[in-house]
Amino acid sequence: MSRKTLFVLILLAALTPAAQTIFASEEAGGQAGGAGHGLNPLVLIGVALVLLVAKLGGELFERFGQPAVLGELIGGMLVGNLVLFGVTAIEPLKTDVVLGALAEIGVILLLFEVGLESNLGDMLEVGWSSLLVAVAGIIAPFFLGWGVAAYFIPDEARLAHIFIGATLCATSVGITARVLKDMGKLDTRVARIVLGAAVIDDVLGLIILAVVQGAIQATAAGTTLSLASVGIITLKAVGFLFGALLVGRLVVPHIFRGAGKLEGRGVLLALAIAICFVLSWAAAGIGLAAIVGAFAAGLLLEEAHIERMPGRTKHDLHELLTPLTTILVPIFFVLMGLKVDLRAFARLDILGFAAALTVAAIIGKQVCSLGVIDRGVNRLAVGLGMIPRGEVGLIFAGIGATLMLPNAAGIDEPVINRATFAAVVIMVIVTTLITPPLLKWSLARNASAPDNEPLPEPERETAEEAAERTSR
């Protein structure tokens, strides 16, 4: 014990003068800080700030029954616009290469997770109503969004209008699933149809994104765009998804059987991420978005494959991925928020564009109710449940901001410019915010309808699984 005391005294003696020096001294090397270093220390404080904004913003929104992703986005918007009050410290973060790369890796892992959660079996299970709802909910908003864009920003290239139509297709039913869960209606027919349609929408949305992106790249490269080449791009996108699944089904079991013989730590996680990144790279290599590859990777990693590694399940992989997505995914959404220029909200034309887009997004999804062929289902609730755009719309807009197209004057500019980006963000926020109250009202209105009857066990489990996504 006396030894210990002596140690403490020595440490304290060393500490007292040191403590005085540390913050006072403006000694050599003071500002030279990261000079010569590979990693800009700015990235470190940037990530710390982003995590803080994400968790506080997310918490605040969840307290009000809203999804955390909106809190991250709006938190980012507030911090990013501190520059309006003369705070310029945040500005370098908006364009930092490393922070941007971390955000993109976050989205890739997010889509990988979404892919892991959905599988072909589920998609075939959900039935015709879900398929029709999904297809109707893609077609209507696509053309409405295209039309709105053509009306409000006529000077932009036609492909830019089409891209905006594509961003309106996505459905992000996390929030709907949460509302249904909170109301104890997760195991109803409405829930099953909406959640099933959302899975199909993920696939269809990615295919549309791939096609539009391919068309934009072809145009940017000076190739004239024929109907035939659109067809080829479509085939390429569909072919990539299903080709990856086919090849995966043949190859992946062998890889996992081999990996099962490795005893080192972290083999499952490293292998899964390697497969995800290889397919993301392959997708980017053939001109698709990297997230298409990540989604395909998630789809092809089936339970049966993972179980070839002794003692490992898909659930383990989920648990291992969670810390990575917890840190990286919010970086994407906060960064998206940082890039929104709030001054756009003071421009009437942008607000008008945003309002029109929002209306198109809402009305477009009401067409979904026509797709419901089951009898006695609350069609209105299905249409309302498909409204929120959430993260998928943002991801599309983010990709659009990095694609370049020549404008009327022949100068390259981003497909989604700052003003359009602000309008899309407003659309995403509004559609996500209005869904819970509308859905609650609709479901409460006919509480005795047959769609409130619980489904048999196996299907109930699927719906609960899908609802897991809400907590993201």
Q: Which of residues 74-113 bind a copy of itself (CB under 8 A)?
A: 97-98, 100-101, 103-105, 108
CB of 89 to a copy of itself, least distance (A): 13
55-64: long-range pairs with CB below 8 Å, 24+:
55/330, 57/334, 58/330
Supply the angle between the helices 457-467 and 174-182 in degrees, to the nearest 10: 120
Query: Would you count residue 43 as binding a copy of itself (CB under 8 A)?
Result: yes
Could you identify the residue written with the tokens 């299905």?
A: 382
Query: Would you count residue 36 as binding a copy of itself (CB under 8 A)?
Result: yes
CB of 93 to a copy of itself, least distance (A): 13
Query: Would you count residue 45 as binding a copy of itself (CB under 8 A)?
Result: yes
According to CB under 8 A, which residues from 391 to 420 bind a copy of itself? 399, 402-404
Q: Which residue lies nearer to a copy of itself by CB, 108 or 360?
A: 108
Q: Confirm if 427 and 345 have CB atoms less than 8 A apart.
A: no
Query: Would you count residue 70 as binding a copy of itself (CB under 8 A)?
Result: no
Query: Would you count residue 284 as binding a copy of itself (CB under 8 A)?
Result: yes
Query: Would you count residue 274 as binding a copy of itself (CB under 8 A)?
Result: yes
Query: Would you count residue 230 as binding a copy of itself (CB under 8 A)?
Result: no
Query: Would you count residue 115 as binding a copy of itself (CB under 8 A)?
Result: no
Q: Confirm if 103 and 331 have CB atoms less than 8 A apart.
A: yes
Query: Would you count residue 285 as binding a copy of itself (CB under 8 A)?
Result: yes
- Full DSSP string of 193-204: HHHHHHHHHHHH
Q: Confirm if 336 and 99 have CB atoms less than 8 A apart.
A: no
Query: Would you count residue 323 as binding a copy of itself (CB under 8 A)?
Result: yes
From the CA atom positions of the chain, what is the Rg in Å?
24
Q: Residues 303-322: x/- map of binding to a copy of itself (CB under 8 A)?
A: -----------------xxx
Among 193, 205, 240, 413, binds a copy of itself (CB under 8 A): 240
Q: Confirm if 212 and 159 have CB atoms less than 8 A apart.
A: yes
Q: Helices marked H in 409-469 — which ranges?
A: 418-445, 457-467
Query: Would you count residue 9 as binding a copy of itself (CB under 8 A)?
Result: no
According to CB under 8 A, which residues from 168 to 187 bind a copy of itself? none
In whole angstroms, what is the distance from residue 250 CA to residue 143 CA?
Answer: 39
Q: Confirm if 378 and 193 have CB atoms less than 8 A apart.
A: no
Is residue 412 within a helix (H) or strand (E), and if so which, with residue range? strand 412-414
Q: Which residue lies nearer to a copy of itself by CB, 407 or 446?
A: 407
- Candidate segments 11-19, 186-194, 373-381, 453-461, binder of a copy of itself by CB under 8 A: 11-19
Contact partners, residue 100, CB within 8 Å, separation at least 6: 335
CB of 222 to a copy of itself, least distance (A): 9
